Amino acid sequence: EVQLLESGGGLVQPGGSLRLSCEGTGFTLINFAMTWVRQAPGKGLEWVASITGTGHGTYYSDSVKGRFTISRDNSRNTLYLQMTSLRPEDTAVYYCARGVTTVTMFIDYWGRGTLVPVSS
Amino acid sequence: SYELTQPPSVSVSPGQTARITCSGEALPKKYAFWYQQKSGQAPVLVISEDNKRPSGIPERFSGSSSGTVATLTISGAQVDDEADYYCYSADSAGTYWVFGGGTRLTVL
């Protein structure tokens, strides 16, 4: 059974940094592209960043480019999102999601999400 | 950037057919995927590659795409189908990914 488990969320002050992790089980991470998606309270889903299976290709939304970095450690079956210069508008539940192939960011499985409140 | 446009809400009576549209310039070249999200839960894939239904998704869910519009159809909608529905696709280069704004389906 495919499972994705996010961790690392929590309250952070504006301007601060945080690193989210996502461990995948039930599949081999290198065979799939991975994506982070967020959802602000009461709002819709927002694509944040994606990475190909090998890690050679990374893609970012305009709202996080230059502040967030997506990466992966396939030996640990783990995906990461390093977030810096955090703003109140980054407050959201952050979901880890699996792509359908090594290079396609279409999503088939989702984690349960981790909450990141950005507030002083 | 790139945008996908959905109606904010759709309302039907139980047993009726609900149709949710998603419009985007790149949809003639790119698939649309559809996700269902119930309150307090993570999204679930209900339609992939415009019209494929994953294992475990009821047959009343179907998808289609024509030109710049993709459509999710729920035939014989049930109260349990009440949820937010999102389409998801990419720009023509395949490097910028977006969700539609979401459509709240009410069945009552």
- pLDDT tens digits along A26-62: 999 999 999 999 999 999 999 999 999 999 999 999 9
- Torsion, Cα B72 B76 B78 B84, to 10 degrees, reads 10
Q: Residue A86 pLDDT > 90, yes or no?
A: yes
Residues of chain A numbered 79-108 and touching chain B (CB < 8 Å): 95, 100, 105-108
Beta strands in A10-117 (DSSP E): 18-25, 34-39, 45-51, 58-60, 68-73, 78-83, 92-99, 107-110, 114-116
Mean pLDDT across chain A: 96
pLDDT value, residue B52: 97
Give percent above pLDDT 70 in chain A: 100
Which residues of chain B does A95 touch, with a Cβ-Cβ cutoff of 8 Å?
A: 42-43
> What is the band of B1 on the pLDDT scale with cuts at 50, 70, 90?
confident
Give tens-digit pLDDT for B7-36.
999 999 999 999 999 999 999 999 999 999
pLDDT of residue A42: 96
Would you say A44 and A95 are in contact if contact means Cβ atoms under 8 Å apart?
no
pLDDT of amino acid A11: 97
- The answer to whether A113 contacts B42, with C-beta atoms less than 8 Å apart, is yes
CB pair distance less than 8 Å for A47 and B101: no
Cross-chain CB nearest to A111 (options B35, B42, B102):
B42
CB-based contact (8 Å) between A45 and chain B? Answer: yes
Q: Do A107 and B33 touch (CB under 8 A)?
A: yes
